[in-house]
Structure 1
């Protein structure tokens, strides 16, 4: 992995999902209990020091929820609960996440970071060949993005200790199962120990 051709991507570290007061805070307990945001900030600092491109992805919908799929088991309740509404506290990145003003923010309308977003054009324009993923949830957005990146012929690294799910069991099962087949699953310490 070369820093100049790698992208560090955080996914869905938004209040509605990872803050204890979020409207669908399924990952909040694991994020807080395992220091995930603190570790992610360490990973971000490492990536920036390597000269890597950094971007942040968030899921969200306009106030009309016009593009929110009602029949989706994941998103169907968002409009009824007023969750994941863009330009509200719920879709702001958690205050503890170190997001810089000059870093690209990508808004996605579905689980994965590629669907109907500018991620692919960013990767092509910047000649990126490798993605490093951190975020929530491991079993949904991280897995979906890793699988899609793999199928588009990108190298993928998932930082296990910079991700979280609704439970530790689901997180670990996804890492050792689905993700291990399409990505290089590492911890932050192991990643930092490998020369770039």
Structure 2
């Protein structure tokens, strides 16, 4: 059994107070989510797991942006989520290493439109540990999709964040039916 850790969307536009759409910035700080993700990353690297850092974003001309999407539809107008900009840089506190596999995704779900699945299969991964933002969106999407692809999924709850604690816990409660829920200290 091979394991991978997916760390999702700890980028400036979403998690930094100076981001263009900092919807999870306050809760990320309250949860200490990035520090907890770093603990999980250190543990995963020590164990020899595949570590995957994921960011949402669109190319300079926004051709892949879904213009009618309620959450992505105005990104181009605000120049939000533009790949190669401050907004899609990983948060400065996140421990990103050259050995990490980096995925740029054009939608909420990191399986959609990316090479995540082939990389997981090539590395014989059948168990995923996930953390990041937002619990209500990307963490729900990846957990549900991974479950349906027959991966065993564990969510590192205190390395995730959402708009607020209530939204976060509502998502965690729902996902607990299809995934294991742990704290980073349980993992390490």
Both proteins in one fold, TM over 0.5: yes
Which SS does the other structure have where 1:107 is aligned? strand
Write the distance in 2 (CA, Å) between the matches of 1:34 and 1:114: 26
1:19-72, Cα deviation, whole Å (9 max, x unpaired): 000000000001112211111111111111111110101000011111101110
Matches within 5 A, 1:1-196: 2=1, 5-177=2-174, 179-192=175-188
Count of residues paired in the alignment: 188
The root-mean-square deviation of aligned C-alpha atoms, in Å, is 0.8
Write the distance in 1 (CA, Å) between the matches of 2:177 and 2:72: 27
Q: Is the 8 A contact 2:129 2:155 kept in 1?
A: yes
Give the TM-score of the pair, scaled to structure 2.
Answer: 0.98
Unaligned segments of structure 2, at least 5 residues: none
Write the distance in 2 (CA, Å) between the matches of 1:35 and 1:116: 30
Q: Is the 8 A contact 2:31 2:160 kept in 1?
A: no
Runs of 4+ aligned structure 1 residues displaced above 4 Å come to none
1:49-99, Cα deviation, whole Å (9 max, x unpaired): 111110101000011111101110110111111000001110000010000
1:151-191, Cα deviation, whole Å (9 max, x unpaired): 000010000000000011000010012x1122111111222
Give the TM-score of the pair, scaled to structure 1.
Answer: 0.94
